[in-house]
Chains A and B, each alone.
Chain A
């Protein structure tokens, strides 16, 4: 078991004392691609911050690789090496003079030597699609928004985490940027066998990429299943005022109107082919 949450609750200690998480039990295994959906304020961001000890829950136990991190404060640094977290708009945390130095910040904190650091920076820049020689000496602040985001993600990848958690990584990206990001995540998941946890409002993204979808609502996990099952629960999702992926919505509606189609396809081209097939056999 990679990540295990046992009876975890969390209350933010401020004037409102919001109960952000209510009695969460969750197991995440190595090699899963987990999509987390839910409204703003449903507890998604709090949940993922538990995974690397940025938030210590008010009650309950969090285990990473079998180790309880809820009471051993001293080992949090070690935990964070295993669980990389990319925050929303991560480009807002860039601070170094050059792209190279910024990406090297994590590895440096791990205490790696110069050669190792350089090897890692080189490697992750290639992964996110930034040419090493072209970009290493440039200031991150003179890059486009999309490139800045790549630098920021590379900065987390450079820690070589086993688990990569991303909070709304595609927010504000254009279609091309989103496509590149999706390809990156798929590569990390399939080729490098990383465990990925993705928070997103874009149901399309969640449906196409994840192997398991967790739906959160008011601090609780209300659905936890594979994407086909989750997105077949149309009514339940609507009740939580969450959208279906648009393509799923189309397939469902056609199906209801008597055009027999397979409603579990998430790619637009496949779904279109399915509709064409159904129309022709009608």
Chain B
């Protein structure tokens, strides 16, 4: 059910990858995303995947778990693949029937794009798998904090993310419960055409929103009573501190990315 959506949910392990500073991990991920888009051969993808697999091994998270988390994006991947296979023209015609034709360019680009998406999500999910949501939001706050003087509310943004992360599991659980309660009253979420299905979600969404608002109200009170007044003057339980191996890792990635791009 809904609860099974676990793209990149944090898995605590005692590994080098987990110990890396969140800011460094965010920077590394960004660099790798750019590098990935400069790769234009399957060979490059292969090497890149090998590298990511290495990182997974270092993170001590089983590959099975990582892949299981990717299941929900399978549809997106297949969709992309089919779009390209059927709609991209060029190259030899491999197969055709009436107005539909599959051409070699489409197959090539299809698989190319799919590989790219797959690798992209694989290693970005690694970021969230190995970094606790709190470190992640802290990291983002630090990275954004130079923008504070231009009026970007970095601390507030990161607080919003923290809260969102805290409440996602609670709301998913709740959605599951409401869904069951409505099914028990004969609601049908599974059949009918698209419009009927969208309509059938009303009994789920209305209570869910009401509950989310109630929770938001309660939470705002609770936060106020615990002296929350914005980011100013706040300290942290976990101060982010760079360690030497953070820079080692960053350096390695920069060299690697440069090598990949020039190759």
Least Cβ–Cβ distance between A201 and chain B, in angstroms: 18
Whether a CB of chain B sits under 8 angstroms from the CB of A109 is yes
Count class of interface residues, chain B: 20 to 34
Q: Would A54 and B184 be within 8 Å (CB), given that A14-B4, A87-B177, A92-B178 are in contact?
A: yes
> Does the CB pair A80–B184 fall under 8 Å?
yes
Q: Would A14 and B207 be within 8 Å (CB), given that A54-B184, A106-B186 are in contact?
A: no
Q: Would A105 and B187 be within 8 Å (CB), given that A14-B3, A95-B202 are in contact?
A: yes
> Does the CB pair A105–B207 fall under 8 Å?
no
Collect the chain A residues with CB atoms within 8 Å of residue B177's CB: 87, 92
Contact flags (1/0) for B145-175 with A, using CB distance below 8 Å?
0000000000000000000000000000010
Whether a CB of chain A sits under 8 angstroms from the CB of B211 is yes
> Does the CB pair B186–A110 fall under 8 Å?
yes
Whether a CB of chain A sits under 8 angstroms from the CB of B203 is yes
- A13, A80, A90: the one contacting B186 at CB < 8 Å is A80
> Does the CB pair A90–B188 fall under 8 Å?
no
Least Cβ–Cβ distance between B176 and chain A, in angstroms: 10
> Does the CB pair B184–A156 fall under 8 Å?
yes
Collect the chain B residues with CB atoms within 8 Å of residue A87's CB: 177, 180-181, 184
Least Cβ–Cβ distance between A101 and chain B, in angstroms: 11
Alpha-carbon distance between A52 and B174 when the two chains are bound, in angstroms = 20
Q: Which of A33-90 contact B (CB under 8 A)?
A: 49, 52, 54, 77, 80-81, 84-85, 87, 90
Q: Would A77 and B188 be within 8 Å (CB), given that A49-B180, A87-B177, A93-B181 are in contact?
A: yes
Collect the chain A residues with CB atoms within 8 Å of residue B188's CB: 77, 109
> Does the CB pair B178–A84 fall under 8 Å?
no
Whether a CB of chain A sits under 8 angstroms from the CB of B15 is no
Collect the chain A residues with CB atoms within 8 Å of residue B38's CB: none
Q: Would A92 and B207 be within 8 Å (CB), given that A77-B186, A77-B188, A81-B186 are in contact?
A: yes
Alpha-carbon distance between A105 and B204 when the two chains are bound, in angstroms = 13
Whether a CB of chain B sits under 8 angstroms from the CB of A94 is yes
> Does the CB pair A159–B185 fall under 8 Å?
yes
Alpha-carbon distance between A105 and B178 when the two chains are bound, in angstroms = 14
Alpha-carbon distance between A95 and B182 when the two chains are bound, in angstroms = 10
Whether a CB of chain A sits under 8 angstroms from the CB of B223 is no
Whether a CB of chain B sits under 8 angstroms from the CB of A219 is no
> Does the CB pair A94–B185 fall under 8 Å?
no
Alpha-carbon distance between A155 and B187 when the two chains are bound, in angstroms = 12
> Does the CB pair A109–B187 fall under 8 Å?
yes
Collect the chain B residues with CB atoms within 8 Å of residue A93's CB: 178, 181-182, 203, 207
Least Cβ–Cβ distance between B254 and chain A, in angstroms: 36
Collect the chain A residues with CB atoms within 8 Å of residue B259's CB: none
Q: Which of A89-130 contact B (CB under 8 A)?
A: 90, 92-95, 105-106, 109-110
Contact flags (1/0) for B177-201 with A, using CB distance below 8 Å?
1101111111110000000000000
Whether a CB of chain A sits under 8 angstroms from the CB of B100 is no
Whether a CB of chain B sits under 8 angstroms from the CB of A132 is no
> Does the CB pair B187–A95 fall under 8 Å?
no
Q: Which residues of A contact B (CB under 8 A)?
A: 13-14, 49, 52, 54, 77, 80-81, 84-85, 87, 90, 92-95, 105-106, 109-110, 141, 155-156, 159
Instruction: Sample 11 A-B pairs with CB under 8 A, ordered by A number.
Output: A13-B4, A54-B180, A54-B183, A77-B188, A92-B211, A105-B185, A105-B187, A106-B185, A106-B186, A109-B187, A159-B186
- Give 4 A-B pairs besides A95-B206, A105-B185 with Cβ atoms closer than 8 angstroms: A80-B185, A80-B186, A92-B174, A159-B186
Q: Which residues of B contact A (CB under 8 A)?
A: 3-4, 174, 177-178, 180-188, 202-203, 206-207, 210-211
